[in-house]
Structure 1
Amino acid sequence: MKAARALLGWSQEDLARESGVSLPTLKRLEAQDGIVGGRVSTGDRIAAALAHGGVIFIDENGEGPGVRLRKGL
């Protein structure tokens, strides 16, 4: 989540606004190590907002999962 935000130049406040997820929830989720927990619906809203912003999620490929920006942004 942090890496995706960084690619877009978004603050936590920006992601909260774009996803409709509360700022305290985002802060709590980003403070966790490892896989992001929380409700599936919350994760779906965050992922959708980041994807709408231009982030592509890369599946595990032996090097770990990741993110990149869609071409043309």
Structure 2
Amino acid sequence: MASLAMKVTLERIALFQFTSEHCIQARAMLGWSQEHLSQQSGVSVAAIHRFEAGGELLDVTRLALAFRLEAEGLVFFPGFAPGRGMNIKGATPNPMERPDYAMIE
């Protein structure tokens, strides 16, 4: 089990790497609507819409989006479009393990 410091570090990296543009691009790559991403991630359509329009989300909500999209084999790096991560597991920790998961938007 990773230490708390390692978990926090991984979360900070994931939050830095995953942008609203990534979310839009990833949905397009997968052919997913905001509604489908909502169903798959547990994040509300309103929160996804707000994020993709440049609005802020709680960290746990952004992690839930990144985690779910990474589960489809996508990887995210600042300044680049999402890529297909063959044999690469995403770096985003499972947000369901966070104590604030119940606050997901």
Shared fold per TM-score greater than 0.5: yes
1:15 aligns with 2:15: no
Match of 1:54 among 63, 73, 79: 73
CA RMSD of aligned residues (A): 1.7
Larger Rg over CA atoms: 2
Structure 1, unmatched stretches of 5+, are none
* TM-score, L = length of structure 1: 0.77
Higher strand share: 1
Segments of 4+ in structure 1 off by > 3 A? Answer: none
- SS of residue in 1 equivalent to 2:76: strand
Whole-angstrom distance in 2 between the partners of 1:69 and 1:37: 26
Partner Cα separation in structure 2 for residue 15 and residue 54 of structure 1: 15
CA distance in 1, matches of 2:80, 2:69: 15
* Counterparts of 1:27 and 1:3, CA distance in 2: 13
TM-score, normalising length from structure 2?
A: 0.55
Percent of paired sites with the same residue: 35
Query: Match for residue 28 of structure 1?
Result: 50
CA shift for structure 1 position 38: 1.2
